Structure formats: C-alpha cells, structure tokens
Amino acid sequence: MESWLGTWAASPAAPVYFVPQEIMATPTPLAGTVRHRVRVSVGGSRLQLRFSNETGERPLRIGGASIGLPGENDGIRADSLRRVTFAGQPGIAIPPGAPVFSDPLDLAVALLGEVVVSVFFPDEFTPARSENVHKARHAPNGDFVMESVLQEAQPIAVRPTITGIAVEVDSAYSPGAIVCLGDSLTDGAGAQSTEFRSWTDILARRMHERYGADFPAVVNAGIGGNQLVGALIGPPALARLDRDVFATPGISHLVVFEGINDIGAGGRTNIEGVTWPIATTAGLIAGYQQILTRARARGIKVIGATLLPFRGSLFFLEEKEVVRQEVNHWIRTSGAFAQVIDFEAALRDPHDVSRLAAEFDSGDCMHPNTAGQKALGAAVNLEFFK
C-alpha cells in the first residue's frame, strides 16, 4: 500500500507593504509564466503538488502548470516535462483562503534532487516578495509552462504559489517527515549560496550521508519576519500550525525555531505608525506550550531550538536581551521539549553570548551567512530523528 510524504514546502504569506523598501521591495502585480526551481529532500517516482491562495482576497486563476527536471541554460529537460492537471483539467481557479492539490503525476525525482515548476497566471495578482530567498524567473507575455526554455524571462524574488510537494512512498516507510517551523533564519535569508541554502537543507544532506536513502524528509516551514505569537509577516506560528505543520503528509517531528522576531520587533514603529509590543518571557513560553500541547495530541515529537543572539542589530535593546536569555534558559532546562538543539551555542561569539560570532554574521548582526547556516545544520543531533 502506498502513502504520501511531504518532501518540500514554502509556507504562504501575504504581500507586505509596511516594510521600508531598503529591507524589502514593494510588492508589484504580475501576470504570465513564473518558474521556480526547488530542491526536494526525499525522492520518489510519483508526485503531488500543493498550490495556495490561502492569503488571497479574490480567486487566483492558474491557466496552466508544469513540472520537470532541470536542464541546461536554466531550462528543463524536454523528456521530463510534465503538464500538471487538476481533476483532469489544465487549470483551476483557487478560491480565496484555500489550497488546491494537483492530480498525482509520474516523474522520477532523486533524493535531494531538484525540480522546476512553472505556473501560468492569465490574470494579474500580487505575490509576496521574498528578498534573496525564493528566486524565480518571470516571462510576462504568455503561457510558456510547456517550453523547455523560458524565453525573455527576467529574475524575480517572490514567494511561490506552489507551497508543497509530496512523493508517494510505501506505507512501510518509517522515517516520516521533519517540519522546521521558523522565520527568516530558517527560510535562509542572509545566506548567499543558491545550493543547500538553509540549515534545513544541510540537515537533509547530513542525514542522507549518514543513513542513505532511509532518512526522514525535511520540510522548511520558514517565513521571513514571522513571529511565534505576534502577527508581523505571515500568520503567527500558533495560527499557521494546522496549515504549515500538521497538514504535512507523514509528519513525525517538529522543530520549533521561532520567537526572535517577537522579541526584536517589540517597541518599534513601522511606516504605518503601528508600534509592536515588547514580548515577555511568560508570553513566549505560553506560546511554546500551546504548540507542544497541539503537536503531542497528534503524536508528533517536538524539538525546541534556542534563539540566536542579535546585539548590534537594528532591533537590539538590553531589555530584549534579558527576555531572549530567559527564553533560552527555559528551552534548555524546562524539559518541555523532547530534545533541544542549542543553535545559540553553535553561533554565538565566544567572548560575548549576546552577539553572533563574526564568521557567521551576514552583516546585519542577526541573520547567519552561508557559513552560519552550515553551522546551524551541523549543530543538529541526527540521533533525535532515528
């Protein structure tokens, strides 16, 4: 008997207009063909795709979609190109607030292999920006989903409307899927590498090297600017658990690496005049406990991760550092989590625990660079997922 296993994801988030342009470009409408190249963790010979309009306020029309394996010159191998269908049809209108799933399709994808997904949007819509993370190519003048090479395409950085890929596996496949719930530190912001960008990618590669083909899928549920209990960018972690975590086919483990934006954004006023409250230790602990309660009820093993230092960043205040240290102490010592990954210990300055070590700093004193992401991935004890 076969079953489905989540092998890749990109959590949906609505366009953001309140962030200064020097941090994130203003979202702009687009139509035409958008092509994303993504890396799965576990491979398979049969796939199903998830598309999302969960943050939209009006129907999102997909005029056509395809998937294939990467070829030369940013193209797709012609022999691998497959049209994606929905109940046998080449397109679909996704209602506001809803996801849709494609029909299963036959395409052999290797573990840690890449696929190229193209989507044609006949009507203008406004995707969320994704600075330096989810890069794509955009051809504005038509439906080119079945073309191997996307002619006259321009690079863009937007969150994809394809938000999940599942592979069909034998029901006896036991490792399951690890979902990594986080913010920009999990999404991969700050890293310059385009290959194995985030610590979640490093984790998947390490497990493949250790266990061969018999390792859990690793699903990245990071959203830049996301918060544990607050609503900065994307729904709070507590609000998106069902959508981005529990709905993942085959989920067995959850890594929680959220909370630094609740602390960091506190006390700051955005360009719309909204001032966010400063997070409290008790409020963040209550948020973690809600995640633990809901995950345990589903038989999911929850692993906590300590929050990284951010002294020197735009958001730092001494009172916020007190909260971060108190939260990390609770994560390490409370026994609430099944296991703990001490990310802070892996990346902090050995002479100042409130700062990132210089070799891991992308330059803003908050986001790890490529070396920092590798160090995060290396800090995870693989025995947690046996």
The 3 state secondary structure assigned to the chain is CEEEEEEEECCCCCCCCCCCCCCCCCCCCEEEEEEEEEECCCCEEEEEEEEECCCCCCCEEECEEEEECECCCCCECHHHCEECCECCECCEEECCCCEEECCCEEEEECCCCEEEEEEEEEEEECCCECCCCCEEEEECCCCCCCCCCCCCCEEEEECCCEEEEEEEEECCCCCCEEEEEECHHHHCCCCCCCCCCCHHHHHHHHHHHHHCCCCCEEEEEECCCCCCCCCCCCCCHHHHHHHHHHCCCCEEEEEEECCHHHHHHCCCECCCCCECCCCCHHHHHHHHHHHHHHHHCCCCEEEEECCCCCCCCCCCCHHHHHHHHHHHHHHHHCCCCCEEECHHHHHEECCEEEEECHHHECCCCCCECHHHHHHHHHCCCHHHHC
* Residue ranges per structural domain of the chain: 2-165, 174-385
Interval 31-86: pLDDT, tens: 999 999 999 999 999 999 999 999 999 999 999 999 999 998 889 999 999 999 99
- What integer pLDDT is reported at residue 135 of this predicted model? 87
pLDDT band at 273 (very low <50, low <70, confident <90, very high): confident
Distance CA 129, CA 14 (A): 9
Percent of the chain with pLDDT over 70: 96
Are 256 and 181 a contacting pair, CB within 8 Å? yes
Interval 279-288: pLDDT, tens: 999 999 999 9
Name the fold adopted by 174-385.
Rossmann fold (3.40.50)
Global pTM reads: 0.96
- What integer pLDDT is reported at residue 22 of this predicted model? 63
pLDDT band at 173 (very low <50, low <70, confident <90, very high): low
Phi, psi of 306 (to 5 degrees): -70, 155
Tokens 């863009």 sit on residue: 156
Q: How many CB atoms lie within 10 A of CB 381?
A: 12
Interval 332-364: pLDDT, tens: 999 999 999 999 999 999 999 999 999 999 999
pLDDT of 267 higher than 90 = no
